[in-house]
Amino acid sequence: MLILVTNDDGVRSPGIRALAEALHDLGRVVVIAPDRNRSAVGHALTLEHPLRAEELKTDVFAVDGTPTDCVNLGVHGLIQATPDLVVSGINLGSNVGDDITYSGTVCAAMEASLMGLPAIAVSLDTRQFKTEELLGAARFSRKLAMKVLQSGLPTDTFLNVNIPSGVCRGVRLTRQGKRKYGEAIVCKQDPRGRNYFWIGGGDVGYEDIPGSDCNALQDGLISVTPLHTNLTNDLSRQELTGWSLDSLMEKS
């Protein structure tokens, strides 16, 4: 088996090291990850300058690009073979609810899914890695990877996994929840009296949606959410058929 491992925290993150080590006995593991922290870059793809990849050691590459770049470069350039599985993580901090639209970790798995490859994104709900929790997350990731390699995934599906910190009480198959963001912008002044801004400074909560990834973490459960790349809102599409959009066209 050939497994491509990536992340958005950077190639030197303890999370990606623990993940790669846990997967090694399943086959050849190739790590291709950003050379620095690229959190919250979403599904960004580098198009305006060339990418460089440095081989730090055998099958470990640092790329001066995004997580999506890393998957593309791995599949189409560096590995010269098609991976049997792509695993992204272990991310420092959860990626639940609306977080997934920002997360480079999740979008790396999304990119692999767009290529027709089975993929998993793994995040640990903590602000600082603790060895015991990280090893536990890595062990679960290995078991889930084995299951995906053995059974496969439904078409156009990848998995978003979030693991709670502290005592883990079980696993739940979930759906995407809904975040509540507080004051998202923090404005302060530098010593010269000029304003500067930090994005993402507010407290984050979530809506109480039974069966959601947010609720699972709150209950101390591992959340496994099947996602897909088609963002069409079919219910709204049915409602909007009554808009008679053809009538908006200018008549010559």
In this model, does residue 201 exceed pLDDT 70?
Answer: no
Q: Are 38 and 105 in contact (CB under 8 A)?
A: no
pLDDT at 182: 65
User: What's the rounded mean pLDDT across residues 184-194?
Assistant: 89
In 24-48, which positions are buried (b, 16+ CB within 10 angstroms) versus exposed (e)?
Answer: eebeebbbbbbbeebbebbbeebee
Dihedral angle computed from the Cα positions of residues 226, 230, 231 and 233, in that order, rounded to the nearest 10 degrees: -100
Token pair 């979030």 is found at 162
> 2-179+208-230: what fold?
Stationary-phase Survival Protein Sure Homolog; Chain: A, (3.40.1210)
The DSSP result for 8-71, as a single string, is SS-TT-HHHHHHHHHHGGGSEEEEEEESS--TT-TT----SS---EEEEETTEEEESS-HHHHH
In this model, does residue 202 exceed pLDDT 70?
Answer: no
The answer for residues whose C-beta is within 8 angstroms of residue 96's C-beta and 6 or more apart is 160, 162, 176, 177, 179, 206, 212, 213, 214, 217, 223
User: What's the rounded mean pLDDT across residues 216-231?
Assistant: 96
pLDDT at 203: 60
Q: Are 112 and 71 in contact (CB under 8 A)?
A: yes
- Tell me the pTM: 0.92
User: What's the rounded mean pLDDT across residues 237-252?
Assistant: 82
In this model, does residue 122 exceed pLDDT 60?
Answer: yes
In this model, does residue 100 exceed pLDDT 60?
Answer: yes
Query: Both tokens of residue 188?
Result: 């302060």
Compute the distance between CA of residue 144 and CA of residue 194 in angstroms, rounded to an integer: 50
pLDDT at 180: 79
In this model, does residue 133 exceed pLDDT 60?
Answer: yes
The answer for residues whose C-beta is within 8 angstroms of residue 178's C-beta and 6 or more apart is 97, 98, 206, 207, 209, 212, 214
pLDDT band at 183 (very low <50, low <70, confident <90, very high): low
In 107-123, which positions are buried (b, 16+ CB within 10 angstroms) versus exposed (e)?
Answer: bbbbbbbbeebbbbbbb
pLDDT band at 139 (very low <50, low <70, confident <90, very high): very high
Rg of the chain's alpha carbons, rounded to an integer? 20
In this model, does residue 252 exceed pLDDT 60?
Answer: no
Compute the distance between CA of residue 165 and CA of residue 168 in angstroms, rounded to an integer: 7
In 212-231, which positions are buried (b, 16+ CB within 10 angstroms) versus exposed (e)?
Answer: bbbbbbbeebbbbbebeeee
pLDDT at 200: 67
pLDDT at 205: 82
Residue-range domain boundaries for the chain: 2-179+208-230
pLDDT at 245: 85
Read off the pLDDT of residues 39-85 as tens digits, 9 standing for 90 and up: 999 999 999 999 999 999 999 999 999 999 999 999 998 998 999 99
User: What's the rounded mean pLDDT across residues 116-142?
Assistant: 97
pLDDT band at 165 (very low <50, low <70, confident <90, very high): very high
Compute the distance between CA of residue 46 and CA of residue 38 in angstroms, rounded to an integer: 12
